[in-house]
Amino acid sequence: MTPIASADESAVAKAHRELEAAGVRTVIGTVVNASGITLAKSVPLARLKIFHESGMGAAPVWHVFTIDGGIAFTDSITTVGDMRLKIDIAGLRVLPGGRAWAPARLFEQDGAASPACARGCLADVEGSLVEAGYQALVGHELEFFLVAPDGAALETAPWVPYGATGLLDRSEFLDDLLSALNQAGLPLEQLHAEYGRNQFEFSLPPAPPVQSADTVVLARIIVGIVARAHGMMASFSPSPFPGSVGNGAHQHFSLRRNGVPLFSGGSGPHGISAEGGAAIGGIIAGLPDVQGFLTGSVLSGSRLAPGTWSGAYLCWGLENREASVRFLNEGQGNPHGANVEVKIVDPSANVYLASAAILALALDGIRGKSGLPAEIPGDPGRLSENERHQANVRLLSNSPAAIIDTLDNSSLARRLLGDAVVDATVAVRRYEQRIAAELTPDELAERFRLAWSI
């Protein structure tokens, strides 16, 4: 990514000039809240500097707006108070239609970071990694279903999973998507028709954690703009059509210490170093605790089924698509180098909190010298119950209530990420569970098919 400018005083003026020259009239600043929904304020270009320095007002309930437009109040998040939404100038990108976008963070009136701000939380985790001498890169995959503007399924026949057919059927949309992403400085790595009917996927290049999460928000905005221009919407629901495959939001990451990779060149399996193994061990050990950040929405559980490549089994393995943690080896076929893919994440998660949880577990694993659990080389679904027990592999929970109760009661999650993000997440997800109690699974999926769309 080529940033327009770095974040200092003169950089604001420079960015202003460049945006003006690019025909920008409006600047949109976004944050993603505990529900995984994207909230925004916009200003005319003339107010760019104010948006960066003083920010725009945002009520504390921004943290806990829910997927149905409600508010999940907590003891500390009430109608009283105000925060400031400040854009990060370094992340500014030009969008089609005279608009520009930048990621934003939420601050208290006195300038302190708002403790429930997800981008701030990830920035803190990234800071802890750097302080401890580690450099992380994160790469995101985006899966989505193209649907009608009201969320209904589109008619397309026939659909070939991973087929060339889908690429041709939707070639005009895909070509415009590619151009719009390129124009915004976001080069995608690959694009394909996915397994589900009218489901597509593209992946973004690895980048430092906050910057990489920012690009997911930008990419989802661009998908939304281009889909609308083609008379469609994109569903980022984890389970848009229950009973079929869902949307994942897999995150890949790699770690280096002083420039030396932790996932290759070591003496463990597949060249994994002792520290790399400890990072993976920390993730496997802590995954159930933080699942509420990765697969916590009321629709997340219906995606997490064995046989759907959503990584429903708690284990790791080389190129194992049924493992929640898939290891990708170094080699000629892997130009980015060895990395770890956390497959269970879905797009209803707050992308910043999901990265924060994964990386914080990795760092905690390294600090605690976690052991690397035994690798599971095959599909755990092909093992008998007894064999799975012997191999210490189990299915992750797919119960929204259990996942969120575990998060609420997790001293690990609270220690690593703080009470504020845990409490906000628990509040919005329990609110979703109350709505769901009144609906059948199909009604629930239909009602919230566009809840995480931008």
Binding site for ligand GLU (CB under 6 A): 143, 245-248, 303, 308-310, 321, 343
Length of the chain: 454
Which residues here bind Mg ion, judged by CB under 5 A? Answer: 201
Q: Which residue is nearest to Mg ion (CB)?
A: 201
446 contacts which partner out of ligand GLU, Mg ion, none, CB within 5 to 8 A by kind?
Answer: none
Quote the least distance from Cβ 248 to ligand GLU, whole Å.
2
The helix-helix angle for 419-436 and 400-408 (nearest 10°) equals 160
Closer by beta carbon to Mg ion, 99 or else 326: 326
394 DSSP β-pair partners: 314
Quote the least distance from Cβ 322 to ligand GLU, whole Å.
10
321 contacts which partner out of Mg ion, ligand GLU, none, CB within 5 to 8 A by kind?
Answer: ligand GLU
Quote the least distance from Cβ 163 to Mg ion, whole Å.
14
Quote the least distance from Cβ 247 to ligand GLU, whole Å.
6
Closer by beta carbon to ligand GLU, 52 or else 250: 250
Collapsed DSSP state (helix, strand, coil) of residue 218: helix
Is the peptide bond preceding residue 158 cis, with omega within 30 degrees of 0? yes
453 contacts which partner out of Mg ion, ligand GLU, none, CB within 5 to 8 A by kind?
Answer: none
Under 8 Å between Cβ of 72 and 427: yes
364 contacts which partner out of ligand GLU, Mg ion, none, CB within 5 to 8 A by kind?
Answer: none
Q: 362: part of which helix (H) or strand (E)?
A: helix 351-367
Q: Which two tokens stand for residue 428?
A: 């919005």
DSSP letters, 69-122, are S-B---SS--SS--EEEEE-GGG-EEETTTEEEEEEEEEETTSPBPTT-HHHHH
394 contacts which partner out of ligand GLU, Mg ion, none, CB within 5 to 8 A by kind?
Answer: none
Closer by beta carbon to Mg ion, 101 or else 144: 144
Q: Which residue is nearest to ligand GLU (CB)?
A: 248
Which positions ≥6 away from 367 have C-beta within 8 Å?
A: 132
Rounded CA gap, 250 and 187, in Å? 18
Rounded CA gap, 174 and 146, in Å? 11
Question: Which of 278, 283, 281, 307 is closest to 294 using CA atoms?
Answer: 283
124 contacts which partner out of ligand GLU, Mg ion, none, CB within 5 to 8 A by kind?
Answer: none
Closer by beta carbon to ligand GLU, 310 or else 398: 310
Closer by beta carbon to Mg ion, 379 or else 408: 379
Closer by beta carbon to Mg ion, 304 or else 404: 304
Under 8 Å between Cβ of 134 and 437: no
Quote the least distance from Cβ 401 to ligand GLU, whole Å.
21
245 contacts which partner out of ligand GLU, Mg ion, none, CB within 5 to 8 A by kind?
Answer: ligand GLU
Q: 441: part of which helix (H) or strand (E)?
A: helix 441-447
Quote the least distance from Cβ 235 to ligand GLU, whole Å.
12
Q: 201: part of which helix (H) or strand (E)?
A: strand 199-203
Closer by beta carbon to ligand GLU, 93 or else 303: 303
397 contacts which partner out of Mg ion, ligand GLU, none, CB within 5 to 8 A by kind?
Answer: none
